[in-house]
């Protein structure tokens, strides 16, 4: 049996399904979480929608977003755990850990090449978004796409592909989007709401990052100290894909944004231009991602992490993949 059949069998047997998206969720994590949850409810499953961190303010337009919680409701005893968009179990956060150890089956639905296949069943495919992996699963379960489900899934596709512009977009991605639009999702609305908008605070964080750019040997990076964020009242505001902007610089072969977090943690967002890759470096540092977009969180002071990782990035740039994507 292929993993799609296995996934269908697991969901078919389950009645109360806990669905977890990764911490620090993006459009794909939330869109997949809500899309799958709402879809399963249409066929009578009970679901608990879980994420360690709250739904970002700008994604609260998505149907069902007020139903995401950081703890399992007391009266909910799941008989299946579905994880979404997460290549390892750490990234699922604290809410998932007791469930992972609770003896119930785990269906791991993901699209990262770095996925470590931690599920009982692993529906892991090299697609542009987790939402795109869910579509054949819903088809195989014979669950019709409602407008709400389609809207959530389209937010995932549009977010992870930055509006169909990333190197991993295929004809299948576009076909999936056509189906979601045919099911009632409004592409312009979803793109505006889920991708194009940002907050002024996020722009201030960009300003901090952009004012401290460094370029050496094809590596473009910036570091955002916690103290400068504190001074401006920006603690907890993400850098919102600043790395995607940096890799647009023609001088850069790889780009990185280092964000100092409370508790001696540094979050790193990597980007590569086609012909280079950052997934293997992110994986070796305990994170994960895709060849051209990856990330990890490291312990240590900002200065020492930047120095160490920039050295590794320079070594990475010295070894182009020879591929155009
Ligand atoms: P971004 O830089 O846009 O936050 O993330 C780029 C890609 O790397 C996304 O696919 C994201 O899921 C993945 N990623 C970012 N940070 C981490 C991390 O700490 N662990 C893992 N496993 N993946 C990460
Ligand atoms: Mn994703």
**Ligand 1 atom nearest 287 alpha carbon:** 20
Is the pLDDT score of 320 beyond 90?
A: no
**Ligand 1 atom nearest 257 alpha carbon:** 2
- Counting residues of the chain whose pLDDT is more than 90, the rounded percentage is 95
Distance 232 CA to ligand 2 centre (A): 30
The 3-state DSSP class for residue 22 equals coil
Is the pLDDT score of 325 beyond 50?
A: no
The arithmetic mean of pLDDT across residues 179-192, rounded, is 98
Distance 75 CA to ligand 2 centre (A): 30
Distance 13 CA to ligand 2 centre (A): 27
pLDDT tens-place string over residues 137-151: 999 999 999 999 999
The 3-state DSSP class for residue 174 equals helix
Distance 296 CA to ligand 1 centre (A): 6
pLDDT band, very low/low/confident/very high, at 5 (cuts 50, 70, 90): very high
Strands (E) in the chain, as ranges, are: 16-21, 46-50, 68-69, 80-84, 106-110, 121-124, 214-216, 219-224, 254-261, 265-272, 288-289, 293-299
pLDDT tens-place string over residues 305-318: 999 999 999 999 99
| Average pLDDT taken over every residue of the chain | 96
Is the pLDDT score of 284 beyond 60?
A: yes
Distance 159 CA to ligand 2 centre (A): 8
Is the pLDDT score of 1 beyond 80?
A: no
pLDDT tens-place string over residues 50-97: 999 999 999 999 999 999 999 999 999 999 999 999 999 999 999 999
pLDDT tens-place string over residues 201-236: 999 999 999 999 999 999 999 999 999 999 999 998
Mutate to test the pocket of ligand 1, among 96, 246, 289, 305 (most ligand atoms within 8 A of CB): 289
Quote the CA–CA distance of 177 and 2 in Å, as a whole number: 25
Quote the CA–CA distance of 221 and 140 in Å, as a whole number: 44
Mutate to test the pocket of ligand 1, among 113, 116, 221, 293 (most ligand atoms within 8 A of CB): 293
Distance 160 CA to ligand 2 centre (A): 6
Quote the CA–CA distance of 105 and 134 in Å, as a whole number: 18
Is the pLDDT score of 14 beyond 90?
A: yes
Mutate to test the pocket of ligand 1, among 111, 209, 288, 309 (most ligand atoms within 8 A of CB): 288
């Amino acid at each position: 049996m292929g993993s799609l059949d296995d996934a269908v069998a697991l969901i078919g047997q389950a009645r109360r399904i806990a669905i977890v998206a990764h911490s620090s969720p993006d459009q794909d994590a939330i869109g997949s979480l809500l899309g799958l949850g709402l879809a399963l409810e249409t066929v009578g499953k009970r679901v608990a929608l879980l994420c360690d961190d709250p739904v970002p303010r700008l994604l609260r337009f998505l149907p069902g977003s007020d139903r995401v919680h950081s703890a399992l409701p007391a009266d909910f005893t799941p008989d299946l755990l579905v994880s979404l968009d997460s290549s390892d179990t750490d990234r699922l956060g604290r809410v998932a850990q007791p469930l992972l150890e609770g003896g119930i089956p785990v269906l791991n639905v993901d699209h990262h090449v770095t996925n470590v296949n931690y599920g009982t069943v692993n529906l892991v495919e090299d697609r542009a978004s987790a939402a795109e992996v869910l579509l054949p699963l819903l088809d195989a379960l014979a669950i019709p796409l409602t407008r709400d489900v389609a809207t959530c899934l389209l937010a995932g596709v549009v977010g992870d592909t930055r509006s169909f512009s990333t190197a991993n977009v295929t004809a299948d991605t576009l076909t999936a989007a056509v189906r979601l639009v045919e099911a009632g999702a409004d592409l312009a609305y979803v793109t505006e709401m889920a991708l194009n908008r940002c907050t002024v605070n996020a722009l201030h964080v960009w300003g901090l990052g952009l004012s401290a750019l460094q370029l050496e040997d094809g590596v473009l990076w910036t570091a955002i100290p916690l103290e400068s964020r504190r001074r401006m009242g920006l603690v907890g505001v993400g850098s919102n894909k600043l790395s995607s902007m940096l890799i647009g610089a023609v001088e850069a072969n790889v780009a990185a944004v280092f964000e100092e977090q409370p508790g001696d943690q540094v979050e790193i967002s990597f980007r590569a231009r086609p012909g280079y890759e950052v997934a293997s470096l992110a994986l070796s540092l305990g994170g994960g991602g895709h060849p051209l977009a990856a990330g990890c969180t490291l312990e240590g002071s900002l200065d020492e992490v930047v120095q160490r990782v920039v050295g590794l990035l320079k070594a990475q740039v010295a070894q182009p993949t020879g591929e155009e994507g």
